[in-house]
Amino acid sequence: DELYFSVFKPETGPVWKGNLKRYRLGSDGTVYDRAGRTAIDPETGFFKSRSNNPADPGAWSWWSDDIDANDIHLGGAAENLPNNSDDRNVFTYLGGSSNLSDDSNEISYDNADNITKELLEYTEATDEEYKLLLDWIRDIDVFDTDNDNSYTDTRHTIMDPLHSAPVVVIYGGTDENPDTAIFFGDNQGFIHAINGSNSTSGTYTKGQGDEYFAFMPKELLGMQKTLFEDSQAVEHTYGMDGSITTWVNDENNDNDLYDSNDFVYLYSGMRRGGNSYYALDVTERDAPEFLWQITGGTGGTSGFEELGQTWSKPVKTKVRMGSTVREVLIFGGGYDTNQDLATTRSEDSIGRAVYIVDAETGEKIWSATPSNFSDMKYSIPSDVKAIDVNADRIADQIYVGDMGGQVWRFDIDNNRSSSSTLPVHGGVIASVSDTGTENNRRFYHAPDVSVLSDSSSLT
Protein backbone atom coordinates (compact mmCIF):
# COMPACT_ATOMS: atom_id res chain seq x y z
CA ASP A 1 0.00 0.00 0.00
CA GLU A 2 3.04 2.31 -0.22
CA LEU A 3 2.47 5.14 -2.69
CA TYR A 4 5.29 7.34 -3.97
CA PHE A 5 4.98 10.69 -5.68
CA SER A 6 7.76 12.56 -7.46
CA VAL A 7 6.85 16.23 -7.15
CA PHE A 8 8.30 19.51 -8.41
CA LYS A 9 7.64 23.23 -8.66
CA PRO A 10 8.31 25.19 -11.88
CA GLU A 11 10.44 28.32 -11.52
CA THR A 12 11.61 31.06 -13.88
CA GLY A 13 15.30 30.04 -13.95
CA PRO A 14 17.16 26.78 -14.56
CA VAL A 15 16.69 25.39 -11.02
CA TRP A 16 13.33 23.80 -10.22
CA LYS A 17 12.96 22.20 -6.79
CA GLY A 18 11.63 18.68 -6.51
CA ASN A 19 11.14 15.86 -4.04
CA LEU A 20 10.02 12.29 -3.52
CA LYS A 21 7.20 11.76 -1.00
CA ARG A 22 5.51 8.69 0.38
CA TYR A 23 1.82 8.26 1.23
CA ARG A 24 -0.52 5.28 1.67
CA LEU A 25 -3.00 3.95 -0.86
CA GLY A 26 -6.20 2.72 0.76
CA SER A 27 -8.12 -0.31 -0.51
CA ASP A 28 -10.80 2.11 -1.69
CA GLY A 29 -8.32 4.06 -3.80
CA THR A 30 -8.05 6.95 -1.32
CA VAL A 31 -4.62 8.49 -0.69
CA TYR A 32 -3.88 8.77 3.05
CA ASP A 33 -1.11 10.58 4.92
CA ARG A 34 0.97 9.16 7.79
CA ALA A 35 -1.63 10.29 10.35
CA GLY A 36 -4.38 8.36 8.55
CA ARG A 37 -6.07 11.47 7.16
CA THR A 38 -7.01 11.88 3.51
CA ALA A 39 -4.08 13.59 1.82
CA ILE A 40 -5.69 15.04 -1.31
CA ASP A 41 -7.90 18.12 -1.42
CA PRO A 42 -10.96 17.05 -3.48
CA GLU A 43 -11.48 20.60 -4.69
CA THR A 44 -8.00 21.11 -6.13
CA GLY A 45 -6.62 17.61 -6.66
CA PHE A 46 -3.40 18.68 -4.89
CA PHE A 47 -2.08 17.66 -1.49
CA LYS A 48 -3.94 19.43 1.26
CA SER A 49 -2.43 22.79 2.24
CA ARG A 50 -1.68 23.80 5.81
CA SER A 51 -4.68 24.94 7.88
CA ASN A 52 -5.56 25.94 11.45
CA ASN A 53 -8.08 23.14 11.71
CA PRO A 54 -6.59 20.67 14.25
CA ALA A 55 -8.68 17.86 12.78
CA ASP A 56 -7.33 18.49 9.29
CA PRO A 57 -4.09 20.54 9.54
CA GLY A 58 -2.77 19.56 6.10
CA ALA A 59 -1.21 16.52 4.44
CA TRP A 60 1.66 14.89 6.32
CA SER A 61 3.88 12.62 4.24
CA TRP A 62 6.04 9.81 5.58
CA TRP A 63 9.69 10.69 6.33
CA SER A 64 8.70 14.20 7.46
CA ASP A 65 9.18 15.38 11.06
CA ASP A 66 6.29 17.81 10.73
CA ILE A 67 3.32 18.50 8.49
CA ASP A 68 4.72 19.34 5.05
CA ALA A 69 1.30 19.92 3.44
CA ASN A 70 1.63 20.97 -0.22
CA ASP A 71 5.13 22.43 0.17
CA ILE A 72 7.41 20.75 -2.38
CA HIS A 73 10.61 21.52 -0.50
CA LEU A 74 9.53 20.23 2.92
CA GLY A 75 9.54 16.60 4.01
CA GLY A 76 10.18 13.67 1.72
CA ALA A 77 13.56 12.42 0.59
CA ALA A 78 14.92 15.97 0.45
CA GLU A 79 14.42 16.48 4.19
CA ASN A 80 16.26 13.20 4.83
CA LEU A 81 19.45 14.11 3.00
CA PRO A 82 22.23 13.92 5.62
CA ASN A 83 23.06 17.08 7.56
CA ASN A 84 26.73 16.27 7.06
CA SER A 85 27.42 16.03 3.34
CA ASP A 86 30.39 13.74 4.04
CA ASP A 87 27.78 11.09 4.85
CA ARG A 88 26.29 11.38 1.37
CA ASN A 89 27.31 9.03 -1.46
CA VAL A 90 27.53 11.14 -4.64
CA PHE A 91 29.09 9.35 -7.60
CA THR A 92 29.91 9.66 -11.27
CA TYR A 93 31.74 7.30 -13.63
CA LEU A 94 35.00 8.43 -15.19
CA GLY A 95 35.99 5.28 -17.07
CA GLY A 96 38.17 3.69 -14.38
CA SER A 97 36.73 1.47 -11.65
CA SER A 98 33.21 0.23 -12.41
CA ASN A 99 32.56 0.27 -8.66
CA LEU A 100 30.86 3.63 -8.33
CA SER A 101 31.69 3.83 -4.63
CA ASP A 102 35.39 3.77 -5.45
CA ASP A 103 37.11 7.00 -4.37
CA SER A 104 38.01 7.77 -8.00
CA ASN A 105 34.29 8.19 -8.85
CA GLU A 106 33.33 10.41 -5.93
CA ILE A 107 32.03 13.89 -6.77
CA SER A 108 33.96 15.78 -4.13
CA TYR A 109 36.75 18.29 -3.66
CA ASP A 110 38.71 15.41 -2.12
CA ASN A 111 38.71 13.89 -5.63
CA ALA A 112 39.98 17.04 -7.35
CA ASP A 113 42.56 15.08 -9.32
CA ASN A 114 39.71 13.38 -11.22
CA ILE A 115 36.79 15.84 -10.97
CA THR A 116 38.68 18.66 -12.65
CA LYS A 117 37.74 22.20 -13.58
CA GLU A 118 37.78 21.05 -17.19
CA LEU A 119 35.17 18.35 -16.48
CA LEU A 120 33.01 20.95 -14.76
CA GLU A 121 33.59 23.40 -17.65
CA TYR A 122 34.70 25.91 -15.03
CA THR A 123 38.29 26.52 -16.08
CA GLU A 124 38.12 30.23 -15.24
CA ALA A 125 37.26 29.54 -11.60
CA THR A 126 39.57 30.20 -8.71
CA ASP A 127 40.30 27.24 -6.45
CA GLU A 128 37.83 28.65 -3.93
CA GLU A 129 35.06 28.99 -6.55
CA TYR A 130 35.83 25.50 -7.82
CA LYS A 131 35.49 24.06 -4.30
CA LEU A 132 32.24 25.96 -3.74
CA LEU A 133 30.76 24.41 -6.87
CA LEU A 134 31.74 20.89 -5.84
CA ASP A 135 30.33 21.48 -2.35
CA TRP A 136 27.12 22.86 -3.84
CA ILE A 137 26.71 19.77 -6.05
CA ARG A 138 26.90 17.69 -2.86
CA ASP A 139 24.03 19.82 -1.43
CA ILE A 140 26.09 22.02 0.93
CA ASP A 141 24.44 25.39 1.60
CA VAL A 142 27.37 27.49 0.37
CA PHE A 143 25.13 30.57 -0.10
CA ASP A 144 23.36 30.26 3.30
CA THR A 145 19.98 30.14 1.61
CA ASP A 146 18.27 29.34 4.94
CA ASN A 147 19.83 32.41 6.63
CA ASP A 148 21.12 30.44 9.62
CA ASN A 149 24.65 31.90 9.32
CA SER A 150 26.07 28.51 8.40
CA TYR A 151 27.73 27.85 5.05
CA THR A 152 28.54 24.20 5.74
CA ASP A 153 25.14 22.68 6.53
CA THR A 154 22.91 20.90 4.00
CA ARG A 155 20.41 22.63 1.70
CA HIS A 156 18.15 19.55 1.72
CA THR A 157 17.41 20.13 -1.95
CA ILE A 158 16.52 17.69 -4.70
CA MET A 159 15.80 19.09 -8.14
CA ASP A 160 12.78 18.35 -10.25
CA PRO A 161 11.93 14.82 -11.40
CA LEU A 162 9.87 16.26 -14.24
CA HIS A 163 9.28 13.08 -16.27
CA SER A 164 11.06 10.45 -14.16
CA ALA A 165 8.44 8.52 -12.21
CA PRO A 166 9.66 6.65 -9.10
CA VAL A 167 10.34 2.92 -9.51
CA VAL A 168 10.15 0.60 -6.49
CA VAL A 169 12.25 -2.57 -6.10
CA ILE A 170 11.53 -5.04 -3.27
CA TYR A 171 14.79 -6.64 -2.14
CA GLY A 172 13.26 -8.84 0.57
CA GLY A 173 11.95 -8.26 4.06
CA THR A 174 8.47 -9.27 5.16
CA ASP A 175 4.95 -8.56 4.00
CA GLU A 176 4.56 -6.19 6.94
CA ASN A 177 7.91 -4.50 6.38
CA PRO A 178 9.29 -5.06 2.87
CA ASP A 179 12.90 -4.12 2.18
CA THR A 180 12.38 -1.60 -0.61
CA ALA A 181 14.36 0.95 -2.57
CA ILE A 182 12.94 3.69 -4.76
CA PHE A 183 14.82 4.95 -7.83
CA PHE A 184 14.17 8.13 -9.79
CA GLY A 185 16.03 10.73 -11.83
CA ASP A 186 16.10 14.50 -11.54
CA ASN A 187 17.10 17.46 -13.67
CA GLN A 188 20.23 18.28 -11.74
CA GLY A 189 21.42 15.10 -13.43
CA PHE A 190 21.20 12.55 -10.61
CA ILE A 191 19.68 9.10 -10.37
CA HIS A 192 18.67 8.78 -6.71
CA ALA A 193 18.32 5.57 -4.71
CA ILE A 194 16.11 6.03 -1.63
CA ASN A 195 15.42 3.56 1.17
CA GLY A 196 11.71 2.85 1.61
CA SER A 197 11.99 0.40 4.50
CA ASN A 198 10.70 1.08 8.01
CA SER A 199 13.59 -0.61 9.81
CA THR A 200 17.29 0.13 10.25
CA SER A 201 18.20 -3.31 11.61
CA GLY A 202 19.64 -6.35 9.90
CA THR A 203 20.14 -5.79 6.17
CA TYR A 204 18.73 -2.25 6.31
CA THR A 205 21.71 0.10 6.20
CA LYS A 206 19.70 3.31 5.90
CA GLY A 207 16.75 4.81 7.72
CA GLN A 208 13.46 5.18 5.88
CA GLY A 209 13.57 7.99 3.37
CA ASP A 210 17.37 8.13 3.45
CA GLU A 211 19.40 8.22 0.25
CA TYR A 212 21.62 5.25 -0.55
CA PHE A 213 23.40 7.04 -3.36
CA ALA A 214 23.08 9.63 -6.12
CA PHE A 215 24.72 8.97 -9.48
CA MET A 216 25.45 11.65 -12.08
CA PRO A 217 26.79 10.79 -15.55
CA LYS A 218 30.09 12.40 -16.48
CA GLU A 219 28.48 14.25 -19.39
CA LEU A 220 26.24 16.23 -17.03
CA LEU A 221 29.03 17.58 -14.83
CA GLY A 222 29.53 20.44 -17.27
CA MET A 223 26.06 21.91 -16.70
CA GLN A 224 26.41 22.16 -12.91
CA LYS A 225 27.93 25.65 -13.18
CA THR A 226 24.72 26.86 -14.88
CA LEU A 227 22.60 25.46 -12.05
CA PHE A 228 25.02 26.79 -9.43
CA GLU A 229 24.74 30.34 -10.80
CA ASP A 230 20.95 29.99 -11.30
CA SER A 231 20.65 32.99 -13.61
CA GLN A 232 17.03 33.97 -14.21
CA ALA A 233 17.99 34.68 -17.80
CA VAL A 234 18.68 30.96 -18.37
CA GLU A 235 15.87 28.54 -19.16
CA HIS A 236 15.19 25.31 -17.31
CA THR A 237 17.86 22.67 -17.84
CA TYR A 238 17.48 18.90 -18.15
CA GLY A 239 19.52 16.05 -16.70
CA MET A 240 18.40 12.47 -16.02
CA ASP A 241 14.78 13.12 -16.95
CA GLY A 242 14.02 9.77 -18.57
CA SER A 243 11.91 6.93 -17.19
CA ILE A 244 13.66 4.06 -15.44
CA THR A 245 13.44 0.36 -16.32
CA THR A 246 14.62 -2.37 -13.94
CA TRP A 247 15.62 -6.00 -14.45
CA VAL A 248 15.08 -7.85 -11.17
CA ASN A 249 16.54 -11.37 -11.26
CA ASP A 250 15.31 -13.49 -8.36
CA GLU A 251 16.90 -16.81 -9.33
CA ASN A 252 14.87 -19.07 -7.02
CA ASN A 253 11.77 -16.84 -6.75
CA ASP A 254 12.02 -16.63 -2.96
CA ASN A 255 11.29 -12.88 -2.87
CA ASP A 256 14.75 -12.29 -1.40
CA LEU A 257 17.42 -10.68 -3.57
CA TYR A 258 20.33 -11.47 -1.27
CA ASP A 259 21.10 -14.87 -2.83
CA SER A 260 24.35 -15.19 -4.77
CA ASN A 261 22.82 -15.32 -8.26
CA ASP A 262 20.26 -12.57 -7.71
CA PHE A 263 20.74 -9.07 -9.07
CA VAL A 264 18.99 -5.79 -9.87
CA TYR A 265 19.94 -3.84 -12.99
CA LEU A 266 18.66 -0.36 -13.67
CA TYR A 267 18.36 1.37 -17.08
CA SER A 268 17.64 5.02 -17.73
CA GLY A 269 17.56 7.43 -20.64
CA MET A 270 17.95 11.19 -20.36
CA ARG A 271 14.99 12.57 -22.30
CA ARG A 272 15.95 16.20 -23.08
CA GLY A 273 19.07 15.80 -20.96
CA GLY A 274 21.02 14.05 -23.71
CA ASN A 275 21.28 11.14 -26.12
CA SER A 276 22.64 8.38 -23.87
CA TYR A 277 21.29 5.35 -22.06
CA TYR A 278 22.92 4.21 -18.82
CA ALA A 279 22.87 0.80 -17.12
CA LEU A 280 23.74 0.37 -13.43
CA ASP A 281 24.01 -2.70 -11.21
CA VAL A 282 22.16 -1.69 -8.02
CA THR A 283 22.16 -5.13 -6.38
CA GLU A 284 24.34 -3.71 -3.60
CA ARG A 285 22.77 -0.38 -2.85
CA ASP A 286 25.76 0.77 -0.82
CA ALA A 287 28.14 -0.18 -3.64
CA PRO A 288 26.41 0.25 -7.04
CA GLU A 289 28.34 -0.57 -10.20
CA PHE A 290 28.47 0.92 -13.67
CA LEU A 291 27.47 -1.62 -16.35
CA TRP A 292 27.44 0.20 -19.69
CA GLN A 293 26.60 3.34 -21.62
CA ILE A 294 25.19 3.83 -25.11
CA THR A 295 25.59 7.29 -26.67
CA GLY A 296 23.96 8.30 -29.93
CA GLY A 297 24.99 10.61 -32.73
CA THR A 298 28.23 11.18 -34.59
CA GLY A 299 31.18 10.29 -32.39
CA GLY A 300 29.00 8.22 -30.05
CA THR A 301 28.70 4.46 -29.70
CA SER A 302 29.29 2.62 -32.98
CA GLY A 303 26.01 1.43 -34.49
CA PHE A 304 23.91 4.03 -32.68
CA GLU A 305 24.48 7.03 -34.92
CA GLU A 306 20.69 7.41 -35.34
CA LEU A 307 20.02 7.58 -31.59
CA GLY A 308 18.57 10.99 -30.67
CA GLN A 309 17.42 12.35 -27.32
CA THR A 310 16.68 9.24 -25.29
CA TRP A 311 12.95 9.60 -24.55
CA SER A 312 11.95 5.99 -25.12
CA LYS A 313 11.74 3.90 -21.94
CA PRO A 314 13.55 0.60 -22.62
CA VAL A 315 11.31 -2.46 -22.62
CA LYS A 316 12.91 -5.47 -20.92
CA THR A 317 12.06 -8.75 -22.66
CA LYS A 318 13.63 -11.84 -24.28
CA VAL A 319 14.46 -13.13 -27.76
CA ARG A 320 15.84 -16.44 -28.96
CA MET A 321 19.07 -16.50 -30.96
CA GLY A 322 19.86 -20.00 -32.11
CA SER A 323 19.52 -22.20 -29.04
CA THR A 324 20.11 -19.35 -26.58
CA VAL A 325 17.46 -17.15 -25.00
CA ARG A 326 18.91 -13.67 -24.62
CA GLU A 327 17.75 -10.97 -22.23
CA VAL A 328 17.25 -7.78 -24.22
CA LEU A 329 16.05 -4.19 -24.15
CA ILE A 330 13.97 -2.69 -26.96
CA PHE A 331 13.62 1.08 -27.39
CA GLY A 332 12.84 3.73 -29.96
CA GLY A 333 15.51 5.85 -31.62
CA GLY A 334 14.63 8.97 -29.66
CA TYR A 335 13.56 12.53 -30.31
CA ASP A 336 14.80 15.01 -32.91
CA THR A 337 14.52 18.59 -31.60
CA ASN A 338 13.61 19.55 -35.18
CA GLN A 339 10.08 18.61 -34.07
CA ASP A 340 9.97 21.41 -31.48
CA LEU A 341 9.17 23.96 -34.17
CA ALA A 342 7.58 21.74 -36.80
CA THR A 343 3.99 22.72 -37.60
CA THR A 344 3.62 20.31 -40.51
CA ARG A 345 4.77 16.75 -41.09
CA SER A 346 8.55 17.10 -41.17
CA GLU A 347 11.23 14.50 -41.83
CA ASP A 348 13.95 14.16 -39.21
CA SER A 349 17.69 13.63 -39.37
CA ILE A 350 18.11 11.61 -36.17
CA GLY A 351 16.03 9.32 -33.97
CA ARG A 352 14.72 7.34 -36.95
CA ALA A 353 15.26 3.91 -35.46
CA VAL A 354 14.20 1.01 -33.27
CA TYR A 355 16.91 -0.86 -31.38
CA ILE A 356 17.25 -4.26 -29.71
CA VAL A 357 20.28 -4.52 -27.41
CA ASP A 358 21.68 -7.08 -25.00
CA ALA A 359 20.49 -6.14 -21.50
CA GLU A 360 23.74 -7.23 -19.82
CA THR A 361 26.27 -5.66 -22.17
CA GLY A 362 24.46 -3.03 -24.26
CA GLU A 363 25.61 -4.78 -27.47
CA LYS A 364 23.39 -3.99 -30.44
CA ILE A 365 21.58 -7.10 -31.67
CA TRP A 366 19.31 -5.54 -34.29
CA SER A 367 18.11 -2.16 -35.46
CA ALA A 368 15.61 -0.66 -37.88
CA THR A 369 17.00 2.50 -39.49
CA PRO A 370 16.58 4.33 -42.81
CA SER A 371 19.30 2.08 -44.22
CA ASN A 372 17.08 -1.02 -44.03
CA PHE A 373 13.57 0.54 -43.89
CA SER A 374 13.01 3.28 -46.46
CA ASP A 375 9.83 4.57 -44.74
CA MET A 376 11.71 5.29 -41.52
CA LYS A 377 11.91 9.06 -42.01
CA TYR A 378 10.68 10.28 -38.63
CA SER A 379 12.09 10.11 -35.13
CA ILE A 380 10.64 7.67 -32.56
CA PRO A 381 10.59 9.09 -29.02
CA SER A 382 7.78 6.73 -28.03
CA ASP A 383 8.12 3.63 -25.88
CA VAL A 384 7.65 0.48 -27.93
CA LYS A 385 5.12 -2.25 -27.26
CA ALA A 386 6.65 -5.74 -27.40
CA ILE A 387 4.27 -8.69 -27.14
CA ASP A 388 4.54 -12.46 -26.74
CA VAL A 389 1.93 -14.01 -29.03
CA ASN A 390 2.40 -17.72 -28.25
CA ALA A 391 3.02 -17.48 -24.47
CA ASP A 392 6.58 -18.84 -24.55
CA ARG A 393 7.93 -15.73 -22.76
CA ILE A 394 9.79 -14.68 -25.92
CA ALA A 395 8.95 -11.43 -27.73
CA ASP A 396 7.31 -12.06 -31.12
CA GLN A 397 6.07 -8.66 -32.25
CA ILE A 398 6.91 -4.98 -31.77
CA TYR A 399 4.51 -2.07 -32.32
CA VAL A 400 5.43 1.62 -32.21
CA GLY A 401 4.43 4.97 -33.71
CA ASP A 402 6.70 7.72 -35.03
CA MET A 403 6.65 11.52 -35.31
CA GLY A 404 5.26 11.29 -38.83
CA GLY A 405 2.05 9.66 -37.62
CA GLN A 406 3.09 6.23 -38.88
CA VAL A 407 2.43 3.02 -36.93
CA TRP A 408 5.03 0.29 -37.33
CA ARG A 409 4.85 -3.45 -36.78
CA PHE A 410 7.89 -5.74 -36.63
CA ASP A 411 7.77 -9.54 -36.44
CA ILE A 412 10.66 -11.32 -34.71
CA ASP A 413 11.38 -14.73 -36.25
CA ASN A 414 12.91 -16.39 -33.20
CA ASN A 415 12.67 -19.87 -34.72
CA ARG A 416 14.88 -18.95 -37.69
CA SER A 417 17.48 -16.99 -35.76
CA SER A 418 21.11 -17.97 -35.39
CA SER A 419 23.57 -17.31 -32.60
CA SER A 420 24.63 -14.12 -34.38
CA THR A 421 21.54 -13.03 -36.37
CA LEU A 422 18.01 -12.15 -35.29
CA PRO A 423 15.61 -12.04 -38.28
CA VAL A 424 13.13 -9.18 -37.85
CA HIS A 425 10.72 -8.13 -40.59
CA GLY A 426 8.14 -5.39 -40.68
CA GLY A 427 6.91 -2.08 -41.98
CA VAL A 428 4.27 0.64 -41.69
CA ILE A 429 0.79 -0.72 -41.01
CA ALA A 430 -1.02 2.64 -40.65
CA SER A 431 -0.48 6.34 -41.28
CA VAL A 432 -2.73 8.94 -39.65
CA SER A 433 -0.92 12.15 -40.61
CA ASP A 434 -0.70 14.23 -43.76
CA THR A 435 1.06 17.37 -44.98
CA GLY A 436 -1.44 19.85 -43.54
CA THR A 437 -0.97 21.66 -40.24
CA GLU A 438 -4.33 20.55 -38.85
CA ASN A 439 -3.48 16.85 -39.40
CA ASN A 440 0.15 16.90 -38.27
CA ARG A 441 -0.32 13.96 -35.93
CA ARG A 442 2.70 12.66 -34.00
CA PHE A 443 3.08 9.66 -31.69
CA TYR A 444 4.78 10.26 -28.34
CA HIS A 445 3.40 7.24 -26.48
CA ALA A 446 3.37 3.47 -26.91
CA PRO A 447 0.30 1.86 -28.48
CA ASP A 448 -1.92 -0.54 -26.58
CA VAL A 449 -2.22 -3.97 -28.14
CA SER A 450 -4.95 -6.55 -27.58
CA VAL A 451 -4.20 -10.18 -28.45
CA LEU A 452 -7.33 -12.17 -29.34
CA SER A 453 -7.77 -15.85 -30.11
CA ASP A 454 -10.38 -16.58 -32.78
CA SER A 455 -11.16 -20.30 -32.70
CA SER A 456 -13.97 -19.97 -35.25
CA SER A 457 -11.44 -19.96 -38.10
CA LEU A 458 -9.92 -23.27 -37.02
CA THR A 459 -10.94 -26.49 -38.73
The Cα–Cα gap between 319 and 182 comes to 29
Establish if 142 belongs to a structural domain: no
Rg (CA), the chain: 23
Q: Would you say 351 and 308 are in contact if contact means Cβ atoms under 8 Å apart?
A: yes
Q: What is the pLDDT of residue 457?
A: 63
For the chain, the average pLDDT equals 94
Establish if 115 belongs to a structural domain: no
Encode burial over 66-82: b for 16+ CB neighbours within 10 A, e otherwise.
ebbbbbbbbbbbbbbbe
Band the pLDDT of 453: cuts 50, 70, 90: confident
Q: What is the pLDDT of residue 353?
A: 98
Report which of 259, 258, 264, 223 is spatially closest to residue 240, judged by C-alpha positions. 223
Interval 18-35 mean pLDDT: 95
Interval 446-452 mean pLDDT: 91
Q: What is the pLDDT of residue 454?
A: 74
The Cα–Cα gap between 65 and 412 comes to 53
User: Residues 180, 185, 188, 190: is their CA dihedral positive or negative?
Assistant: positive
Domain that holds residue 393: 300-459
Establish if 277 belongs to a structural domain: no
Percent over 70 (pLDDT), the chain: 98
Over residues 316-358, the pLDDT tens digits come to 999 999 999 999 999 999 999 999 999 999 999 999 999 999 9
Band the pLDDT of 84: cuts 50, 70, 90: confident
Establish if 83 belongs to a structural domain: no
Q: What is the pLDDT of residue 205?
A: 60
Interval 275-281 mean pLDDT: 98
Interval 16-42 mean pLDDT: 95
Worst-scoring range by mean pLDDT, 163-172, 195-204, 317-326, 419-428?
195-204
Helix (H/G/I), strand (E/B), else coil: 130? helix
Q: What is the pLDDT of residue 451?
A: 83
The Cα–Cα gap between 222 and 224 comes to 6
- 408 vs 178, higher pLDDT: 408
Establish if 79 belongs to a structural domain: no
CA 161 and chain centroid, separation: 9
The Cα–Cα gap between 180 and 177 comes to 9
Q: What is the pLDDT of residue 203?
A: 53
Q: What is the pLDDT of residue 272?
A: 97
Establish if 221 belongs to a structural domain: no
Over residues 183-210, the pLDDT tens digits come to 999 999 999 999 998 754 445 567 889 9
Q: What is the pLDDT of residue 199?
A: 57
| pTM recorded for the entire structure | 0.95
Report which of 45, 21, 334, 70 is spatially closest to residue 196, judged by C-alpha positions. 21
Domain count, the chain: 1
Establish if 354 belongs to a structural domain: yes
Q: What is the pLDDT of residue 172?
A: 92
The Cα–Cα gap between 288 and 81 comes to 18
Q: What is the pLDDT of residue 201?
A: 45
Q: What is the pLDDT of residue 207?
A: 81
Q: What is the pLDDT of residue 175?
A: 84
Establish if 314 belongs to a structural domain: yes
- Can you spell out the DSSP letters for 394-428? S--EEEEE-TTSEEEEEEE-GGG--SS---EEEEE
Q: Is the pLDDT score of 459 beyond 90?
A: no
Q: Is the pLDDT score of 303 beyond 90?
A: yes
